[in-house]
Amino acid sequence: MSWITWDRNLKIRLLGETLFNMLFWMYFPFLTIYFSESIGVVEAGFMMTAPAIISIFGGMIGGYFADEYGRRNIMILGSFMQAMFFALFALSVSPWIDYIAFVGISLGKAFYRPASSAMVADLVSEKERRNVFATFASANNIGAIFGPFLGAVLFFQYRTELLWSCTFIASLYFGIILLLMRETMLIQNSKKKTTALSVIKDQWKSYFHILKDKVYLYYIVGGMFITISIMQLDLYLALYVKNYVPAQQLFSIGDWSFSLNSEQIFGWMIGLNGLLFVLLVIPITKRINGWSDRNALVLAASLSGIGMFSVGLSTNIWLLFILTVIFTIGEIIHGPVVQNFVVSYAPKSAIGQYIGASDLQYSFGRFIAPFTVILSSVFPPMFIFGFILLCACISTLFYIRMFNFIDKEEIGI
């Protein structure tokens, strides 16, 4: 299914989110370094946990309203919030206001995501969903190729101009959704009045009911632990490379040589991560199309954990690039498979809520992941990398257990 034949809504999302992510990757990877230098390492570690908890409520409310009032309306709300908080970030003169803006942007993204994923389920057949999700993953990571290289300079030297650019792009995308995007879900009139408190109360009941399903519970726990491993690229890895990887020569020709300092090496690793996504996510997704979700998820968790752990074994720039390839392939395999699993497994009448519940794995994983930054102030690097590997192993065990439950249900045990 070529993107040219997609519904107009999906084309708008593809172009808008690709452009927005070009700017996103110019600031996000450097937030851990920024907050650790401006406020403190331990404080920054704790601060980076709060957006994950806040995003739980955003995903909860966003998923609920996406099913109740339509995908488009919640996408409008989420994009508007991101534009406003980017403006606050650009106007800020304090790292604490910067942090509030960062939390607000995270909340807006949490509102947006369940509705946008549910829209794919509305418009795309089950057979084509993996490829569509893979295309979005590839497009969204185009910015991850160039963003880190530019952000290493722009975020620290021209941060205000960068954030105003993000504000403009987010505002433009909000306007396009408002004017050009149509609703994809049939809205049913309801006489029942809904308040924010009742939404949270009902959604917790819904989540409690969803998590009674052992399959889905194991899926969320397994996803939480692999998220801890994957998120280290933007958290502990930034501090590790900055503090332990020395400046070194990348290559030389005769008397001419090209060298990178530690911050630039980190930027190149993130850039390589993004480049691999763009080049490989669609081919790899097609290559594993015939694989079972069990094998794909187990391989993803294994590659992520082993690749990330091995980073702590060397400071050589070329070995670090090779290991980046390994853990990135694990991340590439993981994304489209889990998105497809949710929309395939969830009841049709509650896809938005199941996607919102699925976001718990990312929210809790992102809450726990920054503790590696806190632990790094006490423990040596290999202890931290060992903890990351342990999380990936636990993820593998939960995925295996999940599919064992599915097999038993299918044969009626």
Q: Could you report the per-residue pLDDT of 212-247, keeping only the tens digit for each?
A: 778 888 889 999 999 999 989 888 998 899 889 898
| The pLDDT value given to residue 413 | 43
Return the domain boundaries, the chain.
3-181+197-410
Q: Tokens 């690749």 label which residue?
A: 307
| The pLDDT value given to residue 35 | 85
- Structure tokens given for 266: 């980190």
- Structure tokens given for 393: 């192993």
d(CA 189, CA 179): 23
Q: How far lies 308's CA from each of 268, 331, 377, in Å?
A: 16, 11, 19
| The pLDDT value given to residue 328 | 93
d(CA 59, CA 15): 23
Burial of 73 (0-12, 13-18, 19+ CB in 10 A): middle
pTM, two decimals, is 0.73
Which region among 90-99, 172-181, 279-288 has the lowest average model confidence (pLDDT)? 279-288
| The pLDDT value given to residue 191 | 47
| The pLDDT value given to residue 186 | 66
CATH number corresponding to 3-181+197-410: 1.20.1250.20
- Structure tokens given for 265: 């090496």
**287-297 as b/e: b if 16+ CB within 10 A:** ebeeeebbebb
Higher pLDDT, 225 or 355: 225
d(CA 359, CA 354): 9
Predicted confidence (pLDDT) at residue 319 exceeds the cutoff of 80: yes
Averaged pLDDT score across all residues of the chain: 83
Question: Of 81-85, 145-149, 215-219, which one has max mean pLDDT?
Answer: 81-85
- Structure tokens given for 271: 């850039």
Q: 202-211 pLDDT, tens per residue?
A: 767 777 777 7
Provide mean pLDDT across the span 371-385: 91
Q: Tokens 């990135």 label which residue?
A: 328
Q: How many residues does the chain have?
A: 413
How many CB atoms within 10 Å of residue 381? 16
Higher pLDDT, 267 or 204: 267
